[in-house]
Each structure stands twice: as structure tokens, then as C-alpha cells.
Chain A
């Protein structure tokens, strides 16, 4: 079964601290993995996709196929990073649909 698991519902850190939002997936094959972010009162937007191996707003995520993980990391959190973060999976040849994790609320305190 396809599944995305984000074990932390809430992650609270102080400004300047490192942050890691965990994501594990279950999929029999090679999926595409994404991180989406939803700031307060805004729509969901793409943050990162594993295939492009980029760093956006200081965030990076590495796909670890052995551990079936795609954790999101940032070395120094900023207050403006406070938001809901969703890890998502897209399977091959499945019409493009995304399977989302439960989401992790990141709160960065001053």
C-alpha cells in the first residue's frame, strides 16, 4: 500500500536552531517525493521535489531509498518558516495523483 508518514504533528524550535521534519514512505517502486508548505491563511505550495535536488529557502531534503525516507532539513530556522509542512508521494503511472502525509506544524519561536 502507498503511504506517507509524518510522525510529528507539531515541532517547536527556537529561531536559529536546526530543524528536521521527518517523512517516511511506503511504495513498491520508485516514487517521486515532494515537500509542500502551507503558511497561515495561504494556499498549499510546492517547496521541494526530490528529483531536482535543490535548496529552497534554506531547506533541503534527500531521498533515502534504503530507509524509505525523505526528511526535510534546515540548519538555522527562521520565524517565517512557521507553517504546516506536508510530505507527498507520487507513484509512477498513476495519473499524477499525490498521496499526502498527515502534516507537521513547525513553530519557530523568537
Chain B
């Protein structure tokens, strides 16, 4: 149990276009989902915390109009990179915390590789 999926696994887009990434908890309801950005062999940088039915909480320095987060249900959160530019190219990872779980463990998705040309 406790599987988190992301779609797509990789996406290549032209500069100026918008890209939507989905994060789903497949076999549990997630109270909270988190979005991270990871550069090659570097740390995960938390971008935002997403709670179902409420606005996302963004970390300092993350543009909320650039990275739109929608958490429509207890099993789905989406991250939309608007007007993407080459500097947005990165590995985006989501995680989800299981509702009612002990330790509030975060389960991670496999990540989405975004390449902006």
C-alpha cells in the first residue's frame, strides 16, 4: 500500500508553454501533498504544501503565479508550470501523507522530468 504516482514521467515542451503534472495517491487518501524540485544529484527543495480544498502554501522564493497548485481531491494534486522557460527544467517530485497514518510518513512519487527547450 501507500503508492504515489505521477504523470507524466517526462515531458519536453517549448519555451512559453504551460505544463501540468499530476500527483495521485493510488491506494490511500492524502491529507497533505508536497511538491519538490530536485536538481541532478542535489537535494530536494520544497516548493509548496498542498492541502485538499484550500490554497497551497508556498515556500519563500517560489512564485505562486508561476507554479500553480490545485488539490481538488484527497487523492489528486496538480502542479502547473505556467509559461515555462529553460530555467524551469528540472525533476519535480511530489509526496503525500496518508490520512490517519501513524508517524505521518510521506510517500514519494517517482518524479517528473521536465525539459523546456
Contacts and interface: CB of A to CB of B under 8 A. Distances in A.
Contacts of B109: 43
A43 B108 contact: yes
Interface string A63-82: 00000000000000000000
B41 A95 contact: no
Contacts of B34: 96-98
Contact residues on B (Cβ < 8 Å of other chain), bracket: 20 to 34
A98 B49 contact: no
A49 B104 CA distance: 11
Interface in A24-77: 42-46, 49, 51-52
A14 to B, nearest CB: 22
A96 B97 contact: yes
7 contacts: A44-B44, A45-B108, A51-B103, A84-B41, A95-B49, A98-B106, A105-B41
Contact of A46 (B41, B44, B105): B105
Given A84-B41, A102-B42, A95 B111 contact: no
A7 to B, nearest CB: 13
Interface residues of A, number: 21
Contacts of B41: 9, 84, 103, 105
Contact of B43 (A43, A51, A52, A101): A101
B48 to A, nearest CB: 9
Interface in B63-117: 93, 95, 97, 103-106, 108-111
A86 B38 CA distance: 12
Nearest to A52: B103
Nearest to A98: B106
B32 interface: yes
A98 B111 contact: no
Contact of B44 (A45, A51, A86, A105): A86
A84 to B, nearest CB: 7
Contact of B93 (A42, A44, A84, A102): A44
Given A43-B108, A43-B111, A95 B57 contact: yes
